[in-house]
A = this chain, B = another copy of it.
Amino acid sequence: MNVALDDERFRQRFEALNEIGATERGGVNRPSLSAANKEARDKLVTWFADAGLDVVVDEMGNIFGRRDGTDDSLAPVMVGSHVDSQYNGGRFDGVIGVLAGLELIETLNDRDVRTERPIEVVSWSNEEGVRFQPDMLGSGVFAGRFDTEYAHSLEDKEGETFGEELRRIGYEGETPCEPRSLHCYFELHVEQGPYLDEADLSVGVVEGVYGFSWLNAAFEGSADHAGPTPMHLRYDALVATSDVVQAVRRIAGTGSEDLVGTVGSLDVRPNSINVIPERVEFTVDFRSYDNAVVEAAVERVGREIEWAAEREGVEWECEEIMRLDADPFADECIETVERAAERVVGEDGYARLVSGAGHDANYLNKICPTGMVFVPSVDGISHVEEEYTEWDDVVAGANVLAHAVVEKAGGK
């Protein structure tokens, strides 16, 4: 079957959803469990129901829309992504994956096509992890990586818990969030890196996702007046931290061809122009497709943190808050996506690549064969309001996704 989505309807829904939480600079501000996130969920639930899907919200707030197959005893094919955003993030990240799934359902409805297997479209809770860490929380619980109680107990900086906030916006469902039998899972997403854009390709066939480690680290020295404290009596947490920022850059530059390293978050206390920084808390993010490379980077930066602390005479802390191994997708799904890509954009229109960013697909890959379709991020930019993908590329990617899903669901 040749599936071609309704470009215009898809586009209208994309625009309508992104009016919610729209920012002045052209992005969206729809962090997980915010008012804007609730509004986007409400819209999605309406659209799912209008498309004839059976809507189920689970106890993590994941939203599923199910379309029956001709044989409902078979495990469903699942397709989706997320509609929460970074603070002042981009319009494409996550949204296109959910709406492409919905658009596929509408197209099957329009053509009165039945598939053998049920198809479920999903929107995962808290993929971005900006207010509640860890990220990919909804899919993580669904795949059995975390339990619901733990996820509900997570606190944001104001001490509000995920569970309370989920109830407040009315999205704590009664269906347990736990692993269940799926035939396979597909996700369309923006690449969030420069590869496809630089190579002038429309579609990426994702072979797997980088492994990564997240560290929370801190130095604690002595706050003191910046004027009368001579240099030899300083225990400056920020000077020690600056050593580590430089070390992370150096480690990333020499650890392997693909290793990347970032200090993304840094908070200084008391953060006053004339007081020596007493405490600095900061994060480190290392990623590679080679688990041993990530491990070596974590060990190296651990030593650098100790050395920086000794050099400056300050105390140090370092805790790994997250580690995911590199995650190769199932060959059968990679091949399915590749066949679909060849059909939609031809062999010169796509390439195989590895994802530097984590996705809900990582967790799904733990419980069923999983595949991903990427579309280009112009200039590789993501997680910011300037994030952009040409609409033709979004449509190409959505059509690749549709072909892959229909093949696996047994569409005639």
Contacts and interface: CB of A to CB of B under 8 A. Distances in A.
A230 B260 contact: yes
B270 A88 contact: yes
A290 to B, nearest CB: 14
A288 to B, nearest CB: 10
Given A239-B249, A242-B242, A245-B239, A227 B356 contact: yes
A246 to B, nearest CB: 5
Contacts of A195: 228
Contact of A273 (B214, B236, B357): B214
Interface residues of A, number: 68
A389 interface: no
B381 A222 contact: yes
A381 B229 CA distance: 8
Contact of A228 (B224, B243, B276, B355): B355
Contacts of A399: none
Nearest to A244: B242
A87 interface: yes
A226 interface: yes
Interface stretch (A65-73, A277-285, A299-307, A365-373): A277-285
A136 to B, nearest CB: 11
A253 interface: yes
Contacts of A241: 242, 245
A323 interface: no
B382 A225 contact: yes
Given A270-B86, A285-B273, A260 B358 contact: no
A243 B276 CA distance: 18
A246 B242 contact: yes
Interface in A127-153: 129-130, 133, 135
A276 B87 CA distance: 14
A267 B86 CA distance: 18
Interface string A251-292: 011000010111111111011111111100001010100000
A336 interface: no
B223 A130 contact: no
A40 interface: no
Contacts of A222: 381, 384
Nearest to A359: B227
Nearest to A278: B384
Given A249-B239, A273-B283, A356 B194 contact: no
B265 A224 contact: no
Contacts of A229: 192-194, 260, 356, 380
B238 A266 contact: yes
Nearest to A93: B225
A194 B357 CA distance: 50
A357 B192 contact: no
A1 interface: no
A384 B223 contact: yes
Contacts of A191: 228
Contacts of A283: 273
A267 B271 contact: yes
A272 B86 contact: yes
B275 A357 contact: no
A183 interface: no
A356 B223 contact: no
A66 to B, nearest CB: 31
A32 to B, nearest CB: 13
B358 A227 contact: yes
10 pairs of A and B residues whose beta carbons are closest in the complex: A193-B228, A228-B356, A227-B356, A242-B245, A227-B357, A226-B262, A242-B242, A273-B283, A192-B225, A223-B384
7 contacts: A192-B225, A195-B228, A226-B287, A229-B380, A236-B249, A238-B245, A272-B383
